């Protein structure tokens, strides 16, 4: 999917209050951009980083810029907008572009579990398929993407609910969407969140299926890439 407005380059001054970032444009102006990422953004929010912003002229928005990408010295990109993966994946699922997840009907934000919403429920082709999506941006070793980048009690809850769906006879999938162009595999960062790591191990044992896909990222847009190897946590 293309960005609605052409992105412009900038230099990161600082990220603060999680959702705000001061950025220096090429003309020298410093602007405040919205950062649509509640995570730690480990390794992505260093002052001086080259980033890409999406301008907007929507008067309903308080900020005129949104932070979308980090451009690394290697020329690779990381997408930092955590709302983008679900929008992109929904379009890919409807178009039948994920061969492991093909179904006549794709519904988003369906109630399930204990007062939760599943990202996608696929129906009409065998057992109902419940798909939870996680945006992956962390990398601490070349070629390896990791999730999570901070403690995520919500993520552990999701894994428990997926496991319950699998035990009830449904198909349950945890989908790691890697918003990095420099990743060749995905693993669980159990050292950052041991509880989440344990919840993934338990969910896989219950029959939850892991899927990992890359993204093709440029300042023009983001599209679904290729399937990546998933490295399960060590029990």
Same domain, 14 and 115: no
Q: Which residue has the higher pLDDT, 166 or 235?
A: 166
- Which residues have a Cβ under 8 Å from the Cβ of 131 and sit 6 or more positions away? 101, 118, 119, 120, 121, 122, 173, 175
Query: Is residue 200 one of the residues assigned to a domain?
Result: yes
Judge if 134 and 217 occupy the same domain. Answer: yes
If phi over 0 gives left and psi between -120 and 50 gives alpha, with beta otherwise, what is residue 163? alpha
Q: What pLDDT does residue 125 have?
A: 78
Question: What phi and psi values does residue 162 have, to the nearest 5 degrees?
Answer: -65, -40
Residue 115 pLDDT class (50, 70, 90 cuts): confident
In this structure, the answer to whether residues 70 and 88 fall within a common structural domain is no
71 shares its domain with 142: no
- Residue 160 pLDDT > 80: yes
User: Is residue 154, in this structure, part of any structural domain at all?
Assistant: yes
> To 10 degrees, what angle do helices 194-206 and 153-167 make?
10
Residue 203 has pLDDT above 70, yes or no: yes
Q: How many domains does the chain fold into?
A: 2
On whether both 66 and 156 belong to a single domain, the answer is no
In a domain, 3, yes or no: no
Would you put residue 114 in left (φ > 0), alpha (ψ -120 to 50) or beta? Answer: beta
Structure tokens at 40: 């730690």
Mean pLDDT over each residue of the chain, to the nearest integer: 95
Mean per-residue pLDDT for 79-98? Answer: 93
Element (H, E) at 107: strand 105-112
26/95 same-domain check: no
Q: Given this model, what pLDDT does residue 57 score? A: 84
24 is a domain residue: yes
Lowest mean pLDDT among 7-16, 116-125, 134-143, 200-209: 116-125
Whether the predicted pLDDT of 235 surpasses 70: no
Domain that holds residue 200: 84-231
Three-state DSSP class for residue 62? coil
Better-predicted residue by pLDDT, 127 or 67: 67
Which sign does the torsion angle of CA 41, 46, 50, 52 carry? positive
Assigned domain for 212 exists: yes
62 and 107 inside one domain: no
**Comparing C-alpha atoms, which of 174, 214, 210, 192 is closest to residue 78?**
214
Residue 194 counted as domain residue? yes
Q: Is 1 among the domain residues? A: no
Same domain membership, residue 17 and residue 115: no
Do 44 and 112 lie in a common domain? Answer: no
CB 122 within 8 A of CB 106: yes
Report the CATH number at residue 127. 3.40.1350.60
Note whether residue 216 is domain-resident: yes
- Start-to-end Cα distance in the chain: 38
pLDDT 10s digits, 10-69: 999 999 999 999 999 999 999 999 999 988 999 999 999 999 999 998 878 889 999 999
What CATH number does the domain containing 50 carry? 2.40.50.580
Name the band, by pLDDT with cuts 50, 70 and 90, for residue 142: very high
The mean pLDDT of 85-109, rounded to a whole number, is 93
pLDDT number for residue 22:
98
Could you tell me if 126 and 220 lie in one domain? yes
* pLDDT for 107 beyond 80: yes
């Amino acid at each position: 999917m293309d960005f609605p407005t052409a992105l412009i380059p900038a230099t990161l001054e600082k990220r603060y209050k999680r959702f705000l970032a001061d950025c220096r444009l090429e003309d020298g102006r410093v602007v405040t951009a919205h950062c649509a990422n509640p995570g730690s953004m480990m390794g992505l929010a260093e002052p001086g980083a080259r980033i890409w912003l999406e301008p907007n002229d929507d008067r309903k928005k308080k900020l005129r810029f949104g932070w979308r990408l980090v451009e690394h010295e290697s020329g690779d990109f990381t997408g930092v907008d955590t709302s983008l993966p679900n929008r992109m994946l929904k379009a890919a699922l409807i178009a039948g572009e994920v061969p492991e997840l093909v179904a006549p009907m794709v519904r988003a934000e369906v109630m399930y579990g204990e007062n939760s919403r599943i990202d996608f429920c696929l129906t009409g082709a065998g057992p109902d398929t419940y798909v939870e999506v996680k945006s992956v941006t962390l990398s601490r070793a070349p070629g390896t993407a990791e999730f999570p980048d901070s403690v995520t009690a919500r993520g552990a809850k999701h894994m428990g609910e997926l496991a319950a769906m699998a035990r009830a006879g449904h198909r349950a999938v945890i989908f790691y969407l890697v918003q990095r162009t420099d990743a060749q595999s995905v693993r669980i960062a159990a050292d950052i969140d041991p509880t989440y790591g344990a919840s993934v191990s338990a969910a896989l044992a219950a029959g939850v299926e892991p899927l990992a896909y890359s993204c093709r990222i440029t300042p023009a847009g983001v599209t679904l890439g290729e399937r990546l190897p998933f490295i399960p946590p060590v029990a």
